[in-house]
Amino acid sequence: MSMPLRETPTEVRELSYAEAIRDGLAVAMERDERVILMGEDIGVYGGAFQVSGDLVQRFGEDRVVDTPISELGGAGIAVGAALTGLRPVYEFQFSDFATLAMEQIVNQAAKLRFMLGGAVSVPLVMRFPAGSGTGAAAQHSQSLEAWFGHVPGLKVCQAATPYDAKGLLLAALEDPDPVMLFEHKLLYKTKGPVPEGHYTVPIGQAHLCRRGGDVTIVATAVMVHRALAAADKLAEEGIEAEVIDLRTIRPLDRKTVVESVAKTSRLMVVYEGVKTLGIGAEVSAMIAESEAFDYLDAPIVRLGGAEAPIPYNPDLEKAAVPQEPDILEAARSLVRGRL
């Protein structure tokens, strides 16, 4: 199973997701001296997941800044740096630790442009290693992107491929507003084609990964890969699933999803965050309020995370979030009318 390729420049390499992000950071730092990196252990150590790697050796400690063990303080410094004209990229060791910095993210970064009548902007990028699957237990495995998607003033992205990880990062660094990049930890070692040099993936534009006429599966992050694998197996049974990678949680690509649902007449949303009040609820409401609602032949299905913290036990951890067999069974039931 592979992701369909988009048109790209001729110089393309096979990079891991983590390498693609590092390459994007290097490209941005070479192009713009205002771009700086900040975070705990991102210097000589290379980052909690080794994403920043050797960038401190390449660009120096003035531009790759190890911050103290204070997420609130580090995020506040990043907001201040953005307000003074820099282009900071702040890395949280785990997305869960962003809960310690919500004051700076939600009450400062997201609101200052509005509160000051557009006189300032906050060109800030924040990176969040997120999701389960690494045995890191409840305080290091959450998917909190829907929290941030609820806040006006923030843009929220989730790349599923190395190509998108680099392209969305570079697009975020050109955006005048704060952009939150959620990176699923299980994807860091996955590989794919990545063009050399500078390119961007538009924020707010979903990617139609696979065409089909029987059911639309909207997915995010690692769930895109599970949905595509399930779609291949469904095709062997005569069910053609159309798979959409949202890529951006806020703003949502209404057009792509609505057009797909109007064609297939069925919708399933697959995401790792807790099902209640998650991304699936917003996508479902979007369809219910659109012209695609009249085309639905079955109730919308939300396949989200369990209503519980992520367990440490590996079997329970897998059971807490959708897996490929769950997607298969839900899609079969949706198409064959067994809901």
Residue 302's beta-bridge partner residues? 269
Please say whether the beta carbons of 217 and 327 come within 8 A: yes
> CA 266, CA 259: separation in Å to the nearest integer?
12
Phi, psi of 210 (to 5 degrees): -150, 135
Does the annotation count 140 as an active-site position? Answer: yes
> CA 110, CA 104: separation in Å to the nearest integer?
8
Residue 66: which residues within 8 A CB-CB, separation 6 or more? 39, 40, 41, 42, 43, 44
DSSP state of 275: S
Q: What residue spans of 41-194 are helical by DSSP H?
A: 55-59, 71-83, 102, 112-115, 145-149, 162-173
27, containing H or E segment:
helix 17-31
Does the annotation count 240 as an active-site position? Answer: no
Q: Which of 40, 91, 140, 145 is the catalytic position?
A: 140
Please say whether the beta carbons of 270 and 278 come within 8 A: no
Q: How far apart are the first and last CA of the chain?
A: 28
CA-based nearest residue to 70, from 90, 44, 47, 50: 90
Q: Which of 71, 145, 242, 317 is the catalytic position?
A: 71
The residues carrying an active-site annotation are 71, 140
